[in-house]
Chain A
Amino acid sequence: MRLLLLIPALLLTGCLESVPVKRGFPDIPPELVKACPELQEATKDTKELSKLLDVVVVNYSTYYECRVKVDAWLQWHKDQKKIFEEVK
Chain B
Amino acid sequence: MWLLSFLPDSFLLWVINIILVAGLVGALSSFFIKFIPPLMPYASSIKFVGIILLVAGVWFRGGYDVEAEWRQRVAELEAKIAVAEKKSKDTNTKIQTQIVEKVKVVKENTIVYRDRIKEVEKIIDKECKVAPEAIDIHNAAAKNVKAGETK
Cβ B130 vs Cβ A83 within 8 A: no
Q: Among A57, A72, A83, A87, which residue has its beta carbon within 8 angstroms of that of B114?
A: A57
Cβ A21 vs Cβ B91 within 8 A: no
Which residues from A are CB-within-8-Å of B93? Answer: 29
A-B contacts at CB below 8 angstroms, number: 144
Cβ B96 vs Cβ A26 within 8 A: no
Interface of A is mostly: helix
Interface residues on chain B, size class: 35 or more
Cβ B106 vs Cβ A76 within 8 A: no
Cβ A11 vs Cβ B62 within 8 A: yes
| Alpha-carbon distance between A43 and B139 when the two chains are bound, in angstroms | 9
Cβ B70 vs Cβ A50 within 8 A: no
| Alpha-carbon distance between A10 and B58 when the two chains are bound, in angstroms | 10
Q: Among A13, A48, A76, which residue has its beta carbon within 8 angstroms of that of B59?
A: A13
Q: Is B151 an interface residue (CB 8 A)?
A: no
| Alpha-carbon distance between A87 and B73 when the two chains are bound, in angstroms | 12
| Alpha-carbon distance between A68 and B58 when the two chains are bound, in angstroms | 62
Which residues from A are CB-within-8-Å of B67? Answer: 17
Q: Which of B91-135 contact A (CB under 8 A)?
A: 91-93, 95-96, 98-100, 102-103, 106-107, 109-110, 113-114, 117-118, 120-121, 124-125, 128-130, 132, 134-135
B93 → chain A, closest Cβ, in Å? 8
Q: Which of A17-42 contact B (CB under 8 A)?
A: 17, 19, 21, 23-24, 26-32, 38-42
Which segment, of B19-27, B28-36, B39-47, B81-89, faces chain A? B81-89
Cβ B142 vs Cβ A39 within 8 A: yes
B64-92 CB mask vs A (1 if < 8 Å, else 0) is 00110010011001101100110111011
A–B Cβ pairs within 8 angstroms, 8 of them: A13-B59, A26-B85, A27-B89, A56-B138, A65-B103, A68-B103, A72-B95, A75-B98
- Excluding A53-B117, A61-B106, 5 further A-B contacts by CB distance (< 8 Å) are A11-B62, A26-B85, A50-B120, A55-B138, A64-B109
